[in-house]
Amino acid sequence: NRRIILGSRPSGMPTKENFQIVTEAIPEIKEGEILIQTIFLSVDPYMRGRMTGIKTYVDPFEVGKVLTGGVVGKIVESKHSNFQEGDIVEGQLDWADYSVSNGRHIRKVDPNLAPISTALGVIGMPGLTAYFGLLDIGKPKEGETVVISGAAGAVGMVVGQIAKLKGCHVVGIAGSQEKIAYLKEELGFDAVINYKTDQIKQALKTACPNGIDVYFDNVGGEISDLVMRFMNFHSRIVLCGDISQYNNEKIEYGPRFQSLLVTRSILMQGFIVSNYSKRFAEGYRDLAKWVSEGKLKYRETIIDGLENAPDAFIDLFYGKNIGKQLVRVSNE
């Protein structure tokens, strides 16, 4: 059983040296436990925060201990009355070939509903993040303008498509021409801005002639400083994440836009998806329905091999993924 452990805490951009791979025997399970073979592993930006030794809303990873994250896997042995051998499940498990669980917070995945990888993406945590953040905090109304940063990522592309379903004018911000083309041509975004090559301020002005009613922010930093200048009276800013800051050793201070929030009566609210855990069933239901109806498309970037999980994680910070970044650890 190969396991990936935190070798050292990153300073700045994480590197492969921060990770180590160890091999141990496949664990034995006790009464009330299940043994899960990993099929897909999710790599997520928030894991960067856990690698820094500071407690936030989740405990930090410990140096020398196995990393954990979203996993879809198959039960290969069960001593738990609710689970059978062969069941496909999803949960927070080890970055390893095999994990042991007592079944708590383990969700069964229906392989007939959609490809099982979607349980880590569009019909999983990122999909729920998009769904509740946009609908509950952003509250987009038909005809309004919704701007999304990190628009070609796992969360961002779901946000944009739900906003389109709600009849909004949707503008995405992303970091490559391939991403821009995908969002416009495949997902029907009304406009997309390449923050690496376009003049962001001018491009926003052109793309949002009626100003911005909802800003769904995945990246923070300079991009957000510029977007916020175009926010309308009574607009909403949904703070989902600020990946542009995750590798900073020192906190960056941006322009002071509080006065804008005051004079334009803007609501700015952060959230974490687990705030909505009591309503997850509603989110899963709608997301699965939209996927099955072809109204919600998804894309995944899949890297093969557990040993390549650190690369897949580091790639997030170089924007190499389009849609959900996954690692395929074994075949279904």
**Half-sphere exposure (Cβ direction) of 184: Cα atoms closer than 13 Å:** 14
Burial class (CB in 10 A: 0-12, 13-18, 19+), 28: exposed
C-alpha–C-alpha distance, residues 81 and 20, integer Å: 35
The DSSP call for residue 116 is G
78 binds ligand NDP (CB under 6 A): no
Q: Counting contacts by CB under 6 A, is residue 174 touching ligand NDP?
A: yes
Q: Give the interface size with ligand NDP as a residue count (CB under 6 A).
A: 29
Contact residues for 77 (Cβ-Cβ < 8 A; gap 6+):
29, 34, 35, 85
Nearer of residues 232 and 245 to ligand NDP, judged by Cβ: 245
**Contact with ligand NDP (CB under 6 A): which of 3, 36, 40, 44?**
44
Q: Considering only 66-74, 230-238, 261-269, 312-320, which stretch makes contact with ligand NDP by CB under 6 A?
A: 312-320
Residue nearest to ligand NDP (CB): 153
For residue 237, state whether it binds ligand NDP (rule: CB under 6 A): no
Q: Which of 89, 100, 134, 152 binds ligand NDP (CB under 6 A)?
A: 152
CA distance 108 to 113: 12
The answer to the question of residue 129 lying near ligand NDP (CB under 6 A) is yes
DSSP secondary structure code for residue 219 in this structure: S
Site string for ligand NDP, 239-268 (x = CB under 6 A): -xx-xx------------------------
The residue among 71 and 219 lying less far from ligand NDP, judged by its C-beta, is 219
Which residue from 45, 124, 160, 283 is in contact with ligand NDP, where contact means CB under 6 A?
Answer: 45
Cβ contacts of 104 within 8 Å, gap of 6 or more:
none
Q: Per the structure block, which two tokens stand in for 155?
A: 């969360």
Instruction: Give the sheet arrangement for strand 145-149, strand by strand.
Output: 191-194, 169-174, 145-149, 212-217, 231-239, 267-270
Query: Binding residue for ligand NDP (CB under 6 A) from 176, 232, 308, 330?
Result: 176
206-235: contacts with ligand NDP (CB under 6 A) = 218-219
Is 100 or 238 the residue whose CB approaches ligand NDP more closely? 238
**DSSP-assigned states of every residue in 223-261:** HHHHHHTTEEEEEEEEE---GGGTT-SS-------HHHH
The 46-65 site mask, x for binding ligand NDP (CB under 6 A), equals x-------------------
Residues that bind ligand NDP (CB under 6 A): 44-46, 126, 129, 150, 152-156, 174-176, 179, 218-219, 240-241, 243-244, 271-273, 316-317, 319, 321, 325
